[in-house]
């Protein structure tokens, strides 16, 4: 039973991390290149554009949910399982979600990278 709790905790963390990352990436693409905006109209324009973007706030909320579910999952399962499992599954999930929702061109190069990084993170934190 404890296994079920731990893995559903991990799954919830992964889902909300991916949602947060995808929404944040979309928000910042809508805001536009901040270097360009900063150079042309200064810092307050950049801050204003970010704060007037609804995806930004949705992203922050999703990341907050992910953070607190991570805290709860850590109290159910071992750190050495929960942290690396959540981190590496988030990498894989993000690669899928970026392709589907952000229309990023995830070519073979990036798939290999996502798998290598996910494996490496699992080994490092394990």
Binding residues for other proteins (CB under 8 A) = 21-22, 24-26, 28-37, 40, 50, 91, 94-95, 98-99, 102-107, 109-110, 112-117, 119-126
Q: How far is the CB of 69 from other proteins (least distance, A)?
A: 13
Q: How far is the CB of 67 from other proteins (least distance, A)?
A: 11
Instruction: Please choose, from the candidates 87, 54, 67, the residue with its C-alpha nearest in 3D space to the C-alpha of residue 16.
Output: 67
CB-based contacts of 20, cutoff 8 Å, min separation 6: 59, 60, 62, 63, 65, 66
Q: Name the one residue in this structure whose structure tokens are 């805001």.
A: 31
**DSSP H or E stretch at residue 28:** helix 2-31
8 or 51, CB closer to other proteins? Answer: 51
3 or 33, CB closer to other proteins? Answer: 33
């Amino acid at each position: 039973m404890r296994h079920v709790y731990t893995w559903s905790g991990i799954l919830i963390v992964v889902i909300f991390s991916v949602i947060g990352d995808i929404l944040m990436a979309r928000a910042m693409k809508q805001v536009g290149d901040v270097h360009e905006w900063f150079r042309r109209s200064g810092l307050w324009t950049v801050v204003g554009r970010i704060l007037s973007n609804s995806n930004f706030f949705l992203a922050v909320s999703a990341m907050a949910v992910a953070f607190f579910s991570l805290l709860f999952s850590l109290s159910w399962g071992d750190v050495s399982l929960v942290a690396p499992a959540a981190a590496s599954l988030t990498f894989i999930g993000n690669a899928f979600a970026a392709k589907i929702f952000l229309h990023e061109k995830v070519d073979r190069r990036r798939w290999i990278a996502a798998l290598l990084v996910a494996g490496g993170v699992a080994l490092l934190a394990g």
